[in-house]
Amino acid sequence: MTDVLSAPRLFLTPLTRPLMLRRVSEEGRTGFDAPVDGPDGTVTVHFPPEWPGDFLPMLPVLLKGGAEVVVGSYVAVERDTLTAVGQLGTKGGPDLLGAVEIGYGLTPQAQGRGLGTEAVGALLASLKARPDIKTITAQTLPTNRASQRVLTKLHFERTGHTWEHEEGNLLIWTWQGQPIRLRTS
């Protein structure tokens, strides 16, 4: 069994080559069921046609890489329904200074329910436990208020902006860790 991350209403199972192959196949366009590693062993999860959302164009690129498991990438699965509701992970490994960027997205049915905060929170917990990671960043479109709320709830702060050819203007967010709570006498 591979590393599975846990959150109250979700578990995050690693993104595997068999899942990507199924999703980019003709059958995968209409949704499919597949076995994945869960917190207590193998479970069958439903992957709706909306999964993985905006991440879909990346699957063929990742498949060309040939890895059986995409290190740092996870499928968010809702525990109650055993349905894939999102895709998240790191955008590569940490750089020489220990900085890593994360990305995430949910299916439309999962949005607005706090699942994004839970999923990204579980990913953050696993990343902050790694000694090779010093800084965690994310980028959002200026108009993506929901994603900005997820980051703010998890103690990210807006630290800059950048511009990318495909996305345009993007806000840069940096994780500042848990806030320090001062005791007053």
Residue 121 lies in a domain: yes
Residue 181 lies in a domain: no
Residue 185 lies in a domain: no
Host domain of residue 121: 5-175
pLDDT band of residue 176 (cuts 50, 70, 90) is confident
Task: Read off the tokens for 161.
Answer: 């902006």
Asked if the model's pLDDT at residue 35 lies above 60, the reply is yes
111, 135 contact by CB (below 8 A)? no
Residue 70 lies in a domain: yes
User: 125-151, pLDDT tens digit by residue?
Assistant: 999 999 999 999 999 999 999 999 999
pLDDT band of residue 75 (cuts 50, 70, 90) is very high
CATH code where residue 107 lies: 3.40.630.30
State how many domains the chain has: 1
Residue 180 lies in a domain: no
- Give the pLDDT confidence score for residue 178 in this predicted structure: 63
Residue 184 lies in a domain: no
Three-class SS of residue 93?
A: coil
Mean pLDDT of the chain: 92
